[in-house]
Structure 1
Amino acid sequence: MIKAFLLDMNQKDLYKLSSMLQHTGKVNVIGMSAYPENVVDKIVLLQPDVLFLDLQLPGQQGMVVAERVKKKLPDIQIVIVTESKQHALWAFDQDIVDYVLKPLEEVRLGQSLERLHKGS
């Protein structure tokens, strides 16, 4: 079972993603947050296998969170779940496993989980 942490400032999207992931039977959501402040320490403490991260956080906080988490947990896999394509090149330069655009679709999320499985 994949242990996941979710970070998205949109509560509706956060709970939708959590529900979709748990429904697959392959993912255990061990933590989630709508607030980027102090989230890196929480993620490091919980040691998830994957971070599902929305980059649409104030300023550049989404990218900063991704970089800090990768520094502290080099083996963590990160999946970007966002509304914009604008940071796709940055994401792949950072060795991000997948870049999923909202609105979330079950088929696309399933493809992302397959990539996680291959990467582990």
Structure 2
Amino acid sequence: MKTIIIDDERLARNELKRLLEDFPKINVVAEAANADEAIELIDEHQPDLLFLDIQMPGKNGFELLEIIEDRVPEVIFTTAYDEYALKAFEYNALDYLMKPIDSSRLAEAITKVEAEIKRTERLSSDPNVQYLTENDQVFVKDGEKCWFVKLGKVRLFESMGNYVRLHFEDQKPMILKSLNSLEERLDPKSFFRANRKHIINLQWVEKIEPWFSGGLLVTLKGGEKSTPLEKIEISRRQAIKFKDLMSL
């Protein structure tokens, strides 16, 4: 696994590299002391994994992920602060390691990464994978409420950490699933990954506008008269795919 270590402390980077020597599948191809350096290295190496510090001079780790949102590899956060744990998983991080890093916890984190990469590769290479289409119905349970909803009625899937919120009619239940795993099951002809946090149902797009830095802003039709219209930003890189998908 091509890996980049991003941490403003040289000693912390060196210690992590030393620990990673026990894991032959991890190939540290580069290291960065800040987000700006990391962006260039990520573009150059297209890594499978980032070990990412949160508190850094300039842009922090979360801001870095916002910038590279369309090409984010697997992420393991490394930090001396535990107050960011919940937010880290909102960014679909696979693990959150506290400094000083314990070798056994590091092994657990790497096992998670290996399992996730294998799962993704298996799904992408399996010609028999059956996508869920807009005509499929799914069972949704949130607390004491249950729904049996046709996917064509779901206009938006929104990442909420380890959960995904479904928007249909005037309902917004949550399911215990990551947006990445859900994306792998949805028919790409009907459902489009707009950005790190959202998958939109293309049948519900009402309006498309140019947006900042080459992105697009799409307006989704409301589920009910009382439901406000939802505006979702399509990031610059995804906007290119969106235009190709929607063009003649």
TM-score normalised to the size of structure 2? 0.45
The amino acid of 2:85's aligned partner reads A
Does residue 112 of structure 1 match 2:109? yes
Residue number in structure 2 paired with 1:13: 12
Higher relative contact order (CA 8 A, sep 6+): 1
Distance 2:114 2:67 in 1: 23
Q: Can you list the C-alpha shifts for 1:68-95, whole angstroms capped at 9, x where unaligned?
A: 23x1314x10100100111111111111
> Residues of 1 paired with 2:83 and 2:110: CA distance?
22
Distance 1:30 1:38 in 2: 14
Question: Is the partner of 2:82 in helix, strand or coil?
Answer: coil
Structure 1 position 12, deviation (Å): 0.4
Tell me the CA shift for residue 59 of structure 1.
5.6
Tell me which moved more, 49-58 or 29-38.
Answer: 29-38
SS at match of 2:54: coil
Q: Which moved more, 1:27-36 or 1:46-55?
A: 27-36
Whose strand proportion is higher, 1 or 2?
2
Q: What TM-score does the superposition give when structure 1 sets the normalisation length?
A: 0.89
Please list the CA deviations of residues 42-64 of structure 1 after superposition, one character each: whole Å capped at 9, or x if unmatched. 21211110010010113652211
Alpha-carbon distance in 2 for matches of 1:58, 1:32: 16
Paired residue type of 2:109: S
Higher helix proportion (structure 1 or 2): 1
Structure 1 residues not aligned, in runs of 5+: none
Cα 1:60–1:36 change in 2 (3 A) is: closer
Measure the CA separation in 1 of the matches of 2:78 and 2:14: 13
Partner of 1:91: 88
Structure 1 distance, partners of 2:37, 2:103, is 30
Selected match of 1:80 from 62, 77, 81: 77
| Aligned equivalents of 1:22, 1:38: Cα separation in 2 | 23
**Structure exhibiting the larger radius of gyration computed from Cα positions:** 2
Question: What does residue 55 of structure 2 align with?
Answer: 56
- The list of structure 1 runs, each at least 4 consecutive aligned residues, that deviate by more than 4 angstroms after superposition, is none
In 2, Cα distance between equivalents of 1:42 and 1:30: 9
- Deviation track 1:96-117 (CA, whole Å, cap 9, x = no partner) reads 1110001111101000000101
Q: Which residue of 1 aligns with 2:28?
A: 29
Unpaired stretches in structure 2, ≥5 consecutive residues: 118-248
2:34–2:58 contact (8 Å) kept in structure 1: no
Identity %: 27
